[in-house]
């Protein structure tokens, strides 16, 4: 015969029910607290804090008055360069650009490079510069330029549209015997409203013709990134250097490349 199950006392069942109800209530309280926590935290962070607000205002002012560099390219005929140039810039813009100091690179040691192998009639030698100007409000310090150094085994003729479809970087890299990456450290600060010229390679063009052009130096420095340190904000993120753009004649012998 099956044994009858012993019935639990009423008091035991009531105690169990109270435990269940208490547990559910505790969980509901925790859920309510968790849902309210983000709002409480947000409220705490948005409470007036004069010291924190003043720090934020100073940071915003520092950003607004920071150094701001703009990078482009400049092709300049050799007759306009050096301590004793054979002629002077004819325009105010040309005079301003050529008043900037020239940072020494190994390209300066190749100034005697000839146009041999370029096939240009009445060749004119120019220097391709990286032009860095400070359009901000404070000076830029510790300027560094990361470059790809290409050691060329031959002269490289570039035929850009509309004369051709050459991509100058592809042709330069294809003509390189050796490729390394190095950093140019600019030895001076760049004050507001000033700039610096960094020689990249020597080019040769036919007289009064910008296209085609020929890289006549044995070395070409292809700029990759630029970085500097702001007086108050510290080191700034690296800026990628764009490629050459279509030529813009500033005056005879000076050509901007965007």
What is the predicted pLDDT for the residue at 181? Answer: 97
What is the predicted pLDDT for the residue at 38? Answer: 55
- Whole-angstrom CA distances from 38 to 27, 28, 34, 43, 128 are 18, 17, 8, 8, 57
**Under-70 pLDDT residues of the chain:** 1-47, 51-64, 111-117, 163, 207-208, 210
Distance CA 154, CA 176 (A): 8
β-bridge partners, 247 = none
Number of other residues whose CB lies within 10 A of the CB of residue 28? 10
Question: Which residue in 160, 203, 206, 198 sits closest to 182, CA to CA?
Answer: 198
Please state the φ and ψ torsions of residue 52, each to the nearest 5 degrees. -65, -40
What is the predicted pLDDT for the residue at 6? Answer: 53
N residues, the chain:
258
68, 134 in Cβ contact below 8 A? yes
Please state the φ and ψ torsions of residue 145, each to the nearest 5 degrees. -125, 120
What is the predicted pLDDT for the residue at 235? Answer: 86
For 164-173, b/e burial (b = at least 16 CB within 10 A) is: eebebeeebb
What is the predicted pLDDT for the residue at 57? Answer: 61
């Amino acid at each position: 015969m099956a044994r009858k199950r012993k019935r639990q006392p009423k008091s035991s069942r009531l105690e169990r029910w109270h435990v269940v109800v208490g547990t559910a209530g505790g969980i509901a309280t925790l859920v309510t607290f968790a849902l309210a926590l983000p709002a409480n935290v947000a409220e705490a962070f948005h409470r007036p804090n004069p010291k924190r607000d003043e720090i934020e205002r100073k940071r915003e002012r520092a950003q607004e008055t920071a150094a701001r560099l703009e990078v482009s390219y400049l092709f300049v005929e050799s007759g306009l360069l050096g301590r004793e140039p054979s002629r002077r810039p004819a325009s105010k813009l040309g005079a301003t650009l050529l008043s900037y100091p020239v940072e020494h690179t190994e390209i300066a040691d190749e100034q005697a490079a000839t146009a041999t192998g370029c096939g240009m009639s009445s060749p004119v030698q120019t220097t391709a510069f990286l032009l860095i100007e400070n359009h901000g409000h404070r000076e830029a310090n510790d300027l560094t330029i990361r470059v790809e150094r290409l050691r060329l085994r031959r002269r490289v003729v570039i035929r850009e549209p509309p004369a051709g479809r050459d991509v100058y970087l592809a042709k330069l890299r294809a003509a390189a015997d050796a490729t390394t990456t190095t950093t140019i450290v600019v030895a001076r600060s760049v004050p507001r409203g000033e700039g610096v010229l960094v020689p990249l390679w020597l080019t040769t063009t036919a007289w009064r013709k910008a296209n085609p052009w020929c890289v006549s130096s044995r070395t070409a420095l292809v700029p990759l990134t630029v970085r500097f340190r702001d007086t108050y904000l510290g080191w700034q993120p690296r800026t990628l250097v764009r490629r050459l753009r279509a030529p813009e004649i500033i005056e005879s012998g000076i050509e901007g490349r965007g």
